[in-house]
Amino acid sequence: MKTLQWFMTVCEYLGGSRDELPGAPGGQAGKHAGTTSQSMPWWLGLWWGLLLGAILLFCGQTSKFIYIDF
């Protein structure tokens, strides 16, 4: 369960809903754990690139959001 919770926290961090990078599943602090550093980790640029690539690849099929004026 701890691993699941850790995984969820990592997803939240990668999704931008959590400011702090979580530590390792067993409680051991990661390199950036517990920091809300103003500097941008190098891999975040990579992550943005991946997201942008996926967005560009799939944006042709977009449709209306369900919750707008349903």
Partner 1 sequence: MIFNTLAYFALFLLPAAILFRRVRPTVQPWICLAFGAGFFIFFSLTQVGGKAGAICLLIFIWESIFSRFYKQGSILCIIGIIQTLLFLIVFKYWNFLTGLLFKSTGHNPLAWSGAFLPLGISFFTFEFIHYAVDRYRGKTPAGRFSEYLAFILFFPTMVAGPIKRYQDFLPKLVNPSREWRLDWRQGITRILSGLAKKFVVADLLTAFTNHLNRADIAQAQRWVLPIWLFAYGMKIYFDFSAYSDIAIGSARLFGIKVPENFDWPYLRTNIAEFWKHWHMSLYRWLVDYVFIPLGGSRVNPSRVYLNILITMFLSGLWHGAGLNFIVWGLWHGTLLVIHRLWTAWREGSLMQFSKTSPTLGLWPLVATVSGDGVQTIPAILYSGTIRQSPSAPVTPAENSPRSTHESVTVGEISEPAEETVGASAPRKNRPPSLGGKLVSWALTFIMVNLGWAFFCMDLPTSLFFLRRLFFG
Residues that bind partner 1 (CB under 8 A): 5, 8-9, 14-19, 36, 38-40, 44, 47-48, 51-52, 54-55, 57-59, 61-70
Q: Which is nearer to partner 1, 28 or 40 (CB)?
A: 40
To partner 1, the closest distance from the beta carbon of 51 in angstroms equals 4
To partner 1, the closest distance from the beta carbon of 54 in angstroms equals 5
Q: Cα angle vertex 40, ends 3, 27, to 5°?
A: 25
Q: How far, in whole angstroms, is CA 42 from its chain's centroid? A: 14
69 to each of 6, 35, 36, 64, how far by Cα in Å?
36, 40, 37, 10
